[in-house]
Each structure stands twice: as C-alpha cells, then as structure tokens.
Structure 1
Amino acid sequence: MHVQRTLLASAVLTAFAPLAFAQTATDTPIATVVVTATPFNASEGDQILTPAKVLAGDELRSKLGSSLGETLSGELGVSASAFGAGASRPIIRGLEGNRVKVLENGMAVSDLSGLSNDHAVTGEAATARQIEILRGPAALLYGSGAIGGLVNVVNERIPTEHHGHSSGVVETRYNSVDHGRALSFSGDTSAGKVALHLDGSGRDAGDYHIPGAPTGDTLANSALRQHTLGAGASYIGERGHVGASVSALKKKYGIPGGEGAQIDLDQTRYDIDSQLAAPLPGFEQLRFKVGYSDYGHVELNSEGGPETVFSNRALETRLEMKHKPVAGWSGSFGVQTEHARFSGLSAESGDPATVPTTVSDTHAAFLVEERDFGVARVNAGVRVESVKREPEGAVPRRTFDLLSYSAGAIFPLGPGYNVGLTASVAQRAPGADELYSGGPHESTLTFDIGNPNFRKETSRNIELSFRKTTGLVRWQANLFQNRVRDFIYGEVSDTLLDDEGNPGDELRERIFRQANATIRGMEAEISYNQHREGLSLRAFGDMSRGRLDDAGSLPLQPAKRLGAEAGYKRGAVRGGVSLLRALKQERLAAFESTPTPAYTQLDANLSYTQRFEHTDLTWFIMGKNLLDEEIRISTSVLKDIAPLPGRNITVGVRAAF
C-alpha cells in the first residue's frame, strides 16, 4: 500500500515537473473566484478550513451532466453514487449521504437525497452560475450534515447587485446516448433599485444506451423528465439588499433494476436573503437568511401505482454577523436553526412504511476567527449544536448535543508557495432513517432496520496540504486522515424478506450498524496555464480508503484514479480532451461480493463563439465515454446492474446577451 501511494503521488506531482520552474512574461493574474460558502469569502486556493474547488463559466458548462453527481464526478476527491441517470449524489473522499451536505445559495436543499441513493438531489446545475465544493469537514459552518464536506450550488436567484443592463443566457442541447433534449435559461434586469431574476430548465431523456451493447440495446427504466422554474427580486440600496425568491421543481425518473419502479418528485421552496453593512458599532456586516422547502416524492411500482409517499417540510434560518478586527482577529459568529417534518408513509394505508413520521429540531451557534501572525495565517472556530428527533408512535425520542471545533494555519514557504495544516473534531447526529427505519424500501429492494439507541458520530480529522498558488504552473497535494468513532453504516445481508418483514424472496435485509472507522487518503493536482489563452494542461490523482476497525473495508469505497486534461483557447475557439483512468476496486466490505474492474474514460469538447451585436452565440459539441467502455462505479449500489452510459455525443448552442 505504501508503494502504491508513493507511485500515485509521484505520477501526478512530476507529470509536468519541467514546467514547475518556468517563468514567463505572460504570468498575469487569473481572475479570483470567490467561495461564497465560507465566512471569509476567500478564493478557492486560499482556504484554511477545507480545500475548495469552484466550477464556473465554460468549465462548468463543459462538465454539465444529467445530475449533480455526474457533473462533479471528475473533480479532485469527488465521486458519485451513480444510481442511474435520475439520481446521482456527490461523494467526497469516500463519504456520502447524510455526511455530505448540499446547499443552494448557502441554504440546505432540504431534499431526501441523503436518505437513500435512489433519491435525487434537487440542486440544479443547469442554471447555476457556479458550484462550490468544500472537501473535508465543514460541520463547523453548516452543521453535522456536513461532517464529510459540502457542495453549494450558486444560482444568484436573489440578486445581490445591479448588473447595469439586462442580461441573460439561453442554452439548448441534445444527447445521442438517450435521445435527450435539454433547455435552460436565466435572465437579470433592474427597475430602479429593484433587481429581478428569472431562470428555468427542462430535460427529457429516454433509456440510455449500454456501453458495448448492440445498437438499440438500452438500460431499462433509466429515462427521466425534469422541469424547474425560479424567480427572485431584491431591493438593493447603498448599505445592502433584501430580497426573496420562489422556485419549483418537478421530476420523474426510472429506477434501473427496480422491476419497473419510478420516482415522481416535486419541490417548492421559498427563500429570503438580506445583507446590511455596518449594522451596529463594531460590526462590518449582517447577513440573515430564511429558507422554507416543501418536498415530496412518490415511489411508483411497475404498473405506475403509488407504493410509498415521502415528504419533508423544512424551515431553516441563518444569521451571521461579521465583526471589525479585534486585536488583529477578523471573523464572524452566527446562529442557525432548522425545523423539519419528515415522513415515509404507505400510499395505501397512510401508515408509516419505511420510517415513521419524525420531527427534527436543530439549534446551533458558531464562531470562526482568522488572524495573520506574520509567519502564518491562523484560523480557528467552534460550533455548538443541539439536535432533537421526535418520532410518532411508541418510539423513543432522542436529543444529541454536538460540539465541533477546528484550528488550522497556512505557512508561506516562499512567493506563491505555502503549506497548510488543519486539525478538527466534528460530530454528527444520526438521521431519522438510521434511528427509526423498520420497513421495505422498494426502490433499493431492501428491508431497512434502524437502531433508536445509536450514539452520535465523532470524527477526528487532520489534513496536511502543500500548494503553489501563483504562476502559470500551479499545484496542490493533500494528505488527510479521519478517525470516526461510532460510524453508522448499512450492512446488507443475504436474508430475504417480503415487504412485511417475513421470510420471502423480494427484499434483502439491510441493518444499520455502528462501529469505529478510519478513512485515509491523498489528492494531488498540477496545472499549467489554466483559464488563460493558449494551451492548458492538468493532471491529477486521488485515492481514499475507509476501514472499519478490525472489520474490513467500508462499503462502496471509491477507486484510485489518475486523470489528465489538455485544453486550448484562442479567440472564438475553445476545446479540450480529458482522460480518466480508474483502477480496479476490490477493497470490499465483508458483505460485498463484486469488485469493479478498471476502466478508462475519454471525453472531449469543442466550441466556437460568434458575436452578433450584443449577443454571443456559442456552438458546441461534446463527447463523453468516447471509447464506449463499460464503466461500473464502485460507489454505486447498482454497480452490478447499471453501467454508466456508453458513448455520448452532445451538440448544442448557447446565446448570452
């Protein structure tokens, strides 16, 4: 194992070693991309709490997939659950579900994608301005649901500044692999001091082509249809803004391997966002947000009849106050609350099916501070949180008192070079499904059994990072270790049950268990001339391994990966090619039986932009899995049933004005 890690690090960090000392007169600054999900709004290469990545602009459009997981699956340290085309959730450093939080404009999406891999994420990448990834524990900022990291989809639905003139983007695209058609749009305008925003998207795709199969052979029940619409408005004054938005999502998609099962999903959400400069003496800024989500989905059987009705109604508030420097320390403190009512009821009887109706209340306060000490920039923070789960029926209520804290520092090693060290402790309360499950889950073909006596998870984390952040050549390398006490996981047995929990042949028994675990890994990336005119290059590698102490590997662990990209941009022309090599994954949990073979994924893209008066018209063509490889993802519950789509050619046009 040590030899493998050394080879992986060497391959990536030395890929462009001759360039590492290159100097050029064209070494002009790259436009800074701000990470909005952090309290200091620093750039992606300047984070202490957790390493950050921001996808935006042409890079985001060229990686856009049918789901959030697919869109982000090629990023450093990020894989995907790959539950067919309709549901794929990001997995960060081998952690998923309730440990990776998905936000929209800094507020929880409040869907049920963390409950099970067959549930779709409601954050929509097609209308996003940028997508932010924080790798590593972000519980300090956003609570115990972010113990493994977070993803923030930023669509600026509530405007925070005037654009000076009306602007917008409209895009349409067609996919060959599933005969899919997609349309997305967004627009901004102003009326005096009021800024207005409108966005929407639609996608309609059939069953997708299976790699290596004869023409016309597709993965049954992998079709999807989705529509979104959102609108927002803000009053923007000299000292800040106050605004509101409303959005709606409707999605229906098939469950491959689920004997014709489908999920019919809808969500309506309302948000309020306000910001005020110099609200009180000693304070620079106040930010207050409110979000309410009404989410529901119905799991349908092969005849289209409803089996289980899931619902989650959630109200979240967040207040942050940024203070002026005190003794050299800058920072902010805040409070956050969440009230959610979750249920999974039988469509026929209205009785609890998989999980009883559960009301959850969360109250938290946090403080994050940062200071320069000359030789180092230091960051420290603490979060206290109380989580209460109240299920209906004769089931015990649970309350969890959580404490998360961290300290980190960046030390300069020379102009443009630094080393960072972060240590943190993050705690997570068990979810309602982990505590109270006791019934069939048709879409995953399992009978889930929780444990109401579970203890809270405690993760102790340490991370060491090396970075070069200036110049044409930039690189980073991260080493991390998470030791988790009382880690909760689902163990799937060979016991077969019917939907009443009696011996049968329909469902496999899945029992939630708790044990200590350790996750270790590394990531490395080097790039040349990214985001500038001319030739650009990138190479990366990542790996993580999760083990239950004295009990083998954690289930659904990501494969080791190596990747390389080359791009070219000159005037109106932009193109690129990427190659990803994933190694065989045979580090299986005790109850897993099938390793996933190695695969090579080749992708490419080409675009040309024409200028027509005030409109930029961009024609593009993209190819994914051009080698038509049979790709099975080790992090997918459906790895034995559903390979990723085969060769796909996407053509489209985008108009920006």
Structure 2
Amino acid sequence: MKIQRTLLAGAILSAYSTLALGQAGEPVVPQVVVTANPFGKTANDQILAPAKVLAGDELRDKAGSSLGETLSQELGVSASAFGAGASRPIIRGLEGARVKMLENGMAVSDVSGLSNDHAVAAEGAVAQQIEILRGPAALLYGSGAIGGLVNVVNERIPTALEPKLTGQMEARASTVDSGRNLSGTIDGSVDKMAWHIDGNFRNADDYKIPGNRVLGDPDSASGRLPHSDTRERTGGIGGSWVDSWGFIGASVSRLSNVYGIPSDEGSKIDQKQTRYDIDSLVKAPFEGFETFKFKAGYTDYKHAEIGEDGAPEVLFKNHSTETRFELTHKPLAGWRGTFGVQTENTNFSALSAEGGPDTVPVTHSTSNAAFLVEETDLGPVKFNAGGRVERVKREPVTGVNRSFNLQSGSVGAMWPFVPGYAVGATLSYAQRAPSTEELYSAGPHDATVTFDIGDADFKKETSRNVELNVQKTTGLVRWKANVFRNKVSDFIYGHVTGNLVDAEGNPGSELRERIFEQADATIQGVEAELEYNPTGAGWSGRLFGDTSHGKLDRGGSLPLQPANRIGVSAAYKMGAWRAGLSLVHAQSQDRLASFETSDTPSYNQVNANLSYTQKVDGYDLTWFLLGKNLTNDEIRVSTSVLKDISPLPGRNVVFGVRAKF
C-alpha cells in the first residue's frame, strides 16, 4: 500500500498548487515503482525496457470489464475484443502465448493464451497498478514473452505493515449494458502480521450497439448484441509476517466468471479458477547479496464451453504449479543484477463433454529455466543485458512426446546525449516452444466455431528483434519515439482453410477447419507519444500514434493485424475537480491474411471523464462520471476474430463513487 499513499500525497499536493514545480522547473510527481523490474526502477526510468504503469486515477478512469479493454489505448497495445467477457492485450501485433500474463509477478496460469475466446483470469478492478513491460527484464518470466508481459499487481500478499486500516471501495453503473460493478480492497496489520482482503462483483447484460450486428448487412439484428453479457465474482485474502529481515506470506483467491460469446452460435463460457500463492523476501541473506526472493503458486483452472441448449460441449482444465527464486547481488565491478531459477509443472486438457473427439488430449508439461539480468553504467551510457536458458517437455497421453531446449538473450544501451534527452537501442533473441494446442489439437472448438488441427512436428519459434528509441525525459513537455523490427523464424499461426467440417472432422457445415502452420514472418512498426504536464495540476495533454505490420516472408499478411492509430487527449486538474477528453482515430485496415475476407472500417472513439473528490468523516469520497464512445460510432477492431459480426459497445455513460480511507 506504499504506492497508494505516495499517489494520494502527490494528488493532494497538486490540488493546492496551480502548478507544483521543482527547482529545475519540473512538476513534483509521485514515483511509481515497476514491480516486474528486478532493479526496482520507477516508470520514468524504463528506457531500456519500454514500460507503462497504470495506477491511481488513470487506472480507475480506463478500467473496463476486461484487461484488454483497460489497456487498449496504451501505446503499442490493442485488444482481441472477443465480446465483453474476453479481451486480451495484444502488444505490437503479437498475441496469445507471445504475451505473458502475470499476477503479482507469477503466471496467471489460465488458458487465455490459447484462444481469443478465453478470458484472462486476473481482475483489474482490484489492482493497485497494471504494468506493461518489454526488454531484458521480461526474460525473468519466460522465453516465450517475445511481445512482452502484462503484470497485474493487487498486493494480495502484503509486503509492509500498515499503521492503520486502509483501503478503498468503489461502486459503478453503466448505461450501455445495465452494468453493475462493486469492488473493494482492505489492508491492515496486527503487530507484525499484515493482512489483505479484496473482492469484485460484476453483472452486465447484453450491450447496445450503434448499428447492425453484421458488417454491411442492414437486415441483420440491431439494438443489443446477443450473448455479450457477463457475470463475474472474484475474492482473495492474504497475510504475511513482516519484520526487519523481510517478509513471508501466503494468499488464496477464487474467480468465477460466466460470459457470453457473441458468435452466431451464441456459446457461453463458465470459467472458474482457484489459486494459492506464497511470497517471501529476505534482506541481506548472506555476504555479497542484497535480497533473496522465493515465490510459489498452485492454480486450479477450468472452464466449460456451453452451447445454446445449456449443455457443456468442451471442458478445459489446467492445473499448474510454479516456483521461482531470485538472488539480487550487491554491485560487483560496477554491475548490479539478479539471478534466478524458475520451474513450472502443468497438466492441460480440452476434452469433449459429448463423447466426440477431444480438442486437445491430456498433456503433462514441464519447464525448468535459469536466468540472469544485469545492468551497469559505462560512463554516461546505461547498459543492461539478460539471458535465459530453458528446457520444456510436452508429454501427451496420446501422441508424440516433444522436448525443446530454449535460449534467449537481450542487450540494451541508453545514451543521454544532452541533459534531459536520451537515445537507446535494444537487441533481443528469444525462443518459444510450441504450445500444447499448437502441437496436439485435433478436435472441435465450439466457441470459435473451428475444428483445430495441430502439428506434433513443429519446431521451436525463434525471434530476433531490434528496437531504437529516442526520448525527452524531463520538463513539462516529454516525448518518446520507438521503431522496431522483429524477424521470427518458424512463426506459428492458425490458418482457416475455408473447408467446413462437422464435429468429427468430416466434411460438413458446422465448423471451419483451422490448421496450425509454421512460416517465417516479420513484424515491424513505429510508435510515438508526446505529453504535456501528465501528472501536475492545471492543464495536461497527450498526443500519440502507433502502427505495426506483420507479414509472412513468403508473402501475405499475418492474421488479425492492428490498425494504424492516432490519439489526442486534454485534461484539467485543479483542487477537488478533475476532467478529461480524448479522441482515438483508427484507420481502415486492409492488410489481410490470405484467408481473411473483409476490411475493417475506420472509426473514431471519443471518451471523457469528470470527477469531484471531497472529505467526508476522514474518507476521500470521489464522485465520477465516465463517457465512452460518446459519438456512438460503430467500432470494429481488426484484431478481433468476431470483427464482422460483433461491434464494440455504443455510447456508454458510467457513473459511480469511490471511497478511500
């Protein structure tokens, strides 16, 4: 909860100043630590590992019903948008298993990386902050994190003692879907025992859409999008013993999420997850080392894909045990760094509930890895490097066992060529083992209306990435620009062949045949962002743009490529009032894979926020009003499998109240 107190103190300071400036003429702003970075850097220090941290009011304003929706307007980030219940972040055109999802630095261990219809089993409504990270630090969490990682930090295992009871409660309602959302966190301590409780309740009906459901079909349904409702419940409790030597703690959490899939078939997914976590830190464990960290987690995940008749069709299960330890050494010959070991043991399956072919057989997977991340200053140049070696085994009950030896590495350098300005470069090499479904799929996937076919002979995927960036890091006006190019050998993707088959894989009309294939690919793009006074009082503004394009080296685009975007926003903060207005324009997207059939039209998304904070009996009570898609534009995102039949919600007004104590 130290992060919360720092943010609150910064907000109060700004509220009583027209523009709080330091001696160098810069705003006095709170420092938010990126917990997924082994060096404990703040968000403003993430030059070698481009990062974004959503926290405080910014997180609450952008919070949506899914993690993808919450992050969809960040630089280089789009969303899969598989209805309101399932929307996963896509970073620089890379999705699925190439973007690692973490909760408090540990794998979420759901199956959201397998398919766009699977929701991420981490709740942003109770998060203290959400981190987006790329670069060498990402190697701590998996060789497959080619696109980067997203870390949801809820501090379920406390790391510090609170001198008094602290927390927040929030209630909000939305007009577009008759939504109701209640969430809260409470932290306290007794002697040296710290404790934490959090929970979230969300109900939302089918949401309203601006026009017709089917792109270009005026005779299709309108009004509300069928099967876009959600019913979600989460709760967690944790405790830890905190002393001068460090801390040790544990937590347990439970998630239940039932949401609709707005496909023509109208499936539902009934998702449940229980997870247990242990976290510890020992300061100065022995000579030459600053800290020792140990984490362990067990996840029991399952979901059922339910047909229109209410009967389950496919049952997904994933039981996962993960352990990791990290040793951070004291500076040695000018180098600071972290060494660690990570293990993962999973049992995954996607079995038919109707007696037909199984989508994916029961498969036991193990992963054992060691990693090292270091940084130093070479004169004025900041330099960091990371490496990871990993051994992955896949052992299905039916089929061929596979094993993969993976090596990954990354180096980066940043040169502040004049005060306040810096130029940097990062080179990375990463390998990823094919996932279980890419190797062994051989059955129907009803929610995506596909019959999936994997290939047990797939080779490991290898990525070679180069990134150049330049940025202004101080002053009221700050900006950054990134250009990147990622060459991927043996890139794995799902190819929808155009053949129609039945649930047994024979010629029919029920399912689209989707065959996983492998080919070399190139993803490249440019991002730029300019900000004025982003955290100080008074006026602030932001201008950003991003573009990326993934294509097969043999010709043709990769599927589901993000559209080019440009966005602008303005905000005003003074005293108890805060207000903002933003516009994001996405161009039409006609860079299609060979099997994609329709372009995505351009759209404009206008959002706004207004809030007022007052003191009531020692509480900070914030009344807020959010407007989303205020022009009621028809928005279809090119990164969605359902783009032709499922537009995003129309005009939505969210109103609510938040109490901090």
Tell me the TM-score normalised to structure 2 length.
0.94
Shift of 1:373: 1.2
Q: Please state whether the residue corresponding to 1:146 is helix, strand or coil.
A: coil
Is the 1:551–1:590 contact (alpha carbons within 8 Å) kept by the matching residues of 2? no
Shift of 1:260: 2.3
State the distance in 2 between where 1:561 and 1:338 align.
38
Paired letter, 2:651: R
Is the 1:97–1:113 contact (alpha carbons within 8 Å) kept by the matching residues of 2? yes
Shift of 1:29: 3.3
State the distance in 1 between where 2:58 and 2:22 align.
26
State the distance in 2 between where 1:299 and 1:102 align.
22
Is the 1:48–1:422 contact (alpha carbons within 8 Å) kept by the matching residues of 2? no
Q: Please state whether the residue corresponding to 1:217 is helix, strand or coil.
A: strand
1:62 equivalent in alignment to 2:79: no
State the distance in 1 between where 2:513 and 2:23 align.
61
State the distance in 2 between where 1:212 and 1:458 align.
43
1:484 equivalent in alignment to 2:484: no
State the distance in 2 between where 1:217 and 1:380 align.
53
State the distance in 1 between where 2:222 and 2:167 align.
38
Shift of 1:168: 1.1
Is the 2:22–2:28 contact (alpha carbons within 8 Å) kept by the matching residues of 1? no
Question: Which segment is superposed worse, 215-224 or 259-268?
Answer: 215-224
Shift of 1:49: 4.5
Is the 2:282–2:292 contact (alpha carbons within 8 Å) kept by the matching residues of 1? yes
1:456 equivalent in alignment to 2:460: yes
Q: Please state whether the residue corresponding to 1:32 is helix, strand or coil.
A: coil
| Residue aligning to 2:656 | 652
Paired letter, 1:442: D
1:303-318 superposed matches below 5 A: 303-318=309-324
Shift of 1:246: 0.3
State the distance in 1 between where 2:616 and 2:450 align.
56
Is the 2:261–2:447 contact (alpha carbons within 8 Å) kept by the matching residues of 1? yes
Against the structure 1 CA distance between its residues 112 and 410, is the aligned structure 2 distance closer, same or farther, given a 3 Å change threshold?
Answer: same
Q: Tell me the alpha carbon deviations over residues 498-541 of structure 1, each in whole angstroms, 9 at most, x when there is no partner.
A: 00000000001000000000000011001000111100000000
Shift of 1:213: 5.8
Shift of 1:48: 4.7
Is the 1:45–1:51 contact (alpha carbons within 8 Å) kept by the matching residues of 2? no
| Residue aligning to 1:278 | 284
Q: Please state whether the residue corresponding to 1:111 is helix, strand or coil.
A: coil
| Residue aligning to 1:565 | 569
Against the structure 1 CA distance between its residues 48 and 320, is the aligned structure 2 distance closer, same or farther, given a 3 Å change threshold?
Answer: farther
Q: Tell me the alpha carbon deviations over residues 202-244 of structure 1, each in whole angstroms, 9 at most, x when there is no partner.
A: 1000000011369981000111100000000010000100000
1:202 equivalent in alignment to 2:201: yes
Is the 2:334–2:377 contact (alpha carbons within 8 Å) kept by the matching residues of 1? yes
Shift of 1:24: 9.3
State the distance in 1 between where 2:222 and 2:499 align.
36
| Residue aligning to 2:582 | 578
Is the 2:572–2:579 contact (alpha carbons within 8 Å) kept by the matching residues of 1? yes
Paired letter, 2:578: R
1:371 equivalent in alignment to 2:337: no
1:237 equivalent in alignment to 2:236: no
Q: Please state whether the residue corresponding to 2:197 is helix, strand or coil.
A: strand
Question: Which segment is superposed worse, 420-429 or 250-259?
Answer: 250-259
| Residue aligning to 2:173 | 174
| Residue aligning to 2:592 | 588
State the distance in 2 between where 1:132 and 1:536 align.
22
Unaligned runs of 5+ in 1: 1-21
Shift of 1:469: 1.2
1:227 equivalent in alignment to 2:233: yes
1:373-392 superposed matches below 5 A: 373-392=378-397
| Residue aligning to 1:11 | none
Is the 1:138–1:146 contact (alpha carbons within 8 Å) kept by the matching residues of 2? no
Match of 1:543 among 528, 540, 547: 547
Paired letter, 2:544: F
Q: Please state whether the residue corresponding to 2:97 is helix, strand or coil.
A: helix
| Residue aligning to 2:422 | 418
| Residue aligning to 1:152 | 151
State the distance in 1 between where 2:117 and 2:170 align.
28
| Residue aligning to 2:93 | 94
Q: Please state whether the residue corresponding to 1:101 is helix, strand or coil.
A: strand
Is the 2:581–2:609 contact (alpha carbons within 8 Å) kept by the matching residues of 1? yes
1:76-155 superposed matches below 5 A: 76-135=75-134, 139-155=138-154
Q: Please state whether the residue corresponding to 1:144 is helix, strand or coil.
A: coil
Unaligned runs of 5+ in 2: 1-20, 214-220
1:404 equivalent in alignment to 2:403: no
| Residue aligning to 2:645 | 641
- Percent identity, aligned pairs only, is 62
State the distance in 2 between where 1:524 and 1:463 align.
13
1:336 equivalent in alignment to 2:335: no
Shift of 1:352: 5.8
Tell me the TM-score normalised to structure 1 length.
0.95
Paired letter, 1:35: V
| Residue aligning to 1:362 | 367
Q: Please state whether the residue corresponding to 1:556 is helix, strand or coil.
A: coil
State the distance in 2 between where 1:506 and 1:97 align.
25
Is the 1:484–1:516 contact (alpha carbons within 8 Å) kept by the matching residues of 2? yes
State the distance in 2 between where 1:353 and 1:188 align.
45
State the distance in 1 between where 2:329 and 2:609 align.
46
Q: Please state whether the residue corresponding to 1:69 is helix, strand or coil.
A: helix
1:469 equivalent in alignment to 2:473: yes
Is the 2:451–2:503 contact (alpha carbons within 8 Å) kept by the matching residues of 1? yes
1:317-332 superposed matches below 5 A: 317-332=323-338
Match of 1:217 among 199, 207, 223: 223
| Residue aligning to 1:12 | none
1:11-90 superposed matches below 5 A: 26-90=25-89
Paired letter, 1:386: R
Paired letter, 2:630: L
State the distance in 1 between where 2:593 and 2:212 align.
30
Is the 1:137–1:426 contact (alpha carbons within 8 Å) kept by the matching residues of 2? no
State the distance in 1 between where 2:293 and 2:372 align.
14
Shift of 1:348: 3.2
Shift of 1:488: 0.3
| Residue aligning to 1:10 | none
Is the 1:258–1:443 contact (alpha carbons within 8 Å) kept by the matching residues of 2? no
State the distance in 1 between where 2:264 and 2:454 align.
22
Is the 2:137–2:373 contact (alpha carbons within 8 Å) kept by the matching residues of 1? no
Shift of 1:50: 2.4
State the distance in 2 between where 1:58 and 1:413 align.
34
Shift of 1:584: 0.7
Is the 1:342–1:359 contact (alpha carbons within 8 Å) kept by the matching residues of 2? yes
Q: Please state whether the residue corresponding to 2:57 is helix, strand or coil.
A: helix
State the distance in 1 between where 2:113 and 2:513 align.
19
State the distance in 2 between where 1:138 and 1:258 align.
42
Is the 1:258–1:442 contact (alpha carbons within 8 Å) kept by the matching residues of 2? no
Against the structure 1 CA distance between its residues 42 and 148, is the aligned structure 2 distance closer, same or farther, given a 3 Å change threshold?
Answer: same
Shift of 1:135: 4.0
Count of paired positions:
634
Shift of 1:47: 2.4
| Residue aligning to 1:435 | 439
Paired letter, 2:34: V
Paired letter, 2:352: S
State the distance in 2 between where 1:183 and 1:435 align.
41
Shift of 1:494: 1.1
